[in-house]
Structure 1
Amino acid sequence: MVKTIFRVCRWIAFWVLVVSVIASPLYISIPSAIALDYNKEILLNSDFSGRDLTDSSFNHANLRNSNFSHANLEGVSLFAANLESANLEGANLTNATLDSARLSNANLKDAVLEGAFAANAKFDKAIIDGADFTDVLLRRDEQDKLCKVAKGTNPTTGRETRETLMCF
């Protein structure tokens, strides 16, 4: 009787182990990127090209002349960041926070900024050919400035830059 109970318990333990090993990958969510904190860092001329920086934070960071081309910056916070002359060509800035960021002379060619918060951001002389500004919150004067140079169609979303900026 004791041997039978022991065998049944061992059999149950074995199958619980097998099922948990098989099922565990279904319940574990491994993030595609680890959010990083670069707040207040001086990162002049840094190369972040092609990186997945989802949900990272660059608040008040000095990123002048840095390369973010084709980087995934979805949900990234760039509050008051200095992005002067930064290369953001083809970057995904969906739902990014760009409030008070300085993007003077930045290259935003073919970037997707859909849903980004860019109130008080400065885009003086920024290259925005093919950029997608769908649902981006901008100050009216910055929007007018961008509309004067807006052209092209975003290759990722298929939207025209002028239409996404609601240029009339």
Structure 2
Amino acid sequence: MKKIFIIFLAIFVLIMDLYSQSGFGVDIGGASSKSYLLNLKYFKNKNHFSIGVTRELNDTNGKKVSHQLTNYGREVIGNGEYFSTVDFSFGRFFTKKLSISTEVSLGKTNHYTNYRDNRFNNGGYYMVNSTSSLFGFGGYCTYTLNKAFGLFAGYNSIRKISGGLELRLIN
């Protein structure tokens, strides 16, 4: 997932650098799905584009193990899933203070099992049993407080209700 984000980030910066720079910023936020998000944003006239990542917090235990060795503990102490996505959005300012954006999210869900083994930190380890692809979409509104800060809130079909802070770094 990190490699995909770095590739998309490089493409994003190269494409946006071809045009006159109106401004860059970041979005930092959280969502009701116990996930956090970080977006890099580019402003051009009344439009803005962003690319970012979302990662769900999870209850994995200890170290991630890809293969269970014969001397590892086998007692299952829980299981669950968590997701991570790359998010693309386009938005437009409808007034000086208010913008509305649409968003597309691509990612994966990891299904894991926690095992007890006191030789590992936190008394165990976890293994990812399977992964599945994710596709989601959503929208959000941003209210600009001043030239540097804004607040956003919205909904995405993967992370559900989200909100956070927009910070403009370069104008």
What is the TM-score when the length of structure 1 is the normalising length? Answer: 0.17
Structure number with higher relative contact order (C-alpha < 8 Å, ≥ 6 residues apart)? 2
Larger radius of gyration: 1
- TM-score scaled by structure 2? 0.17
More helix by share: 1
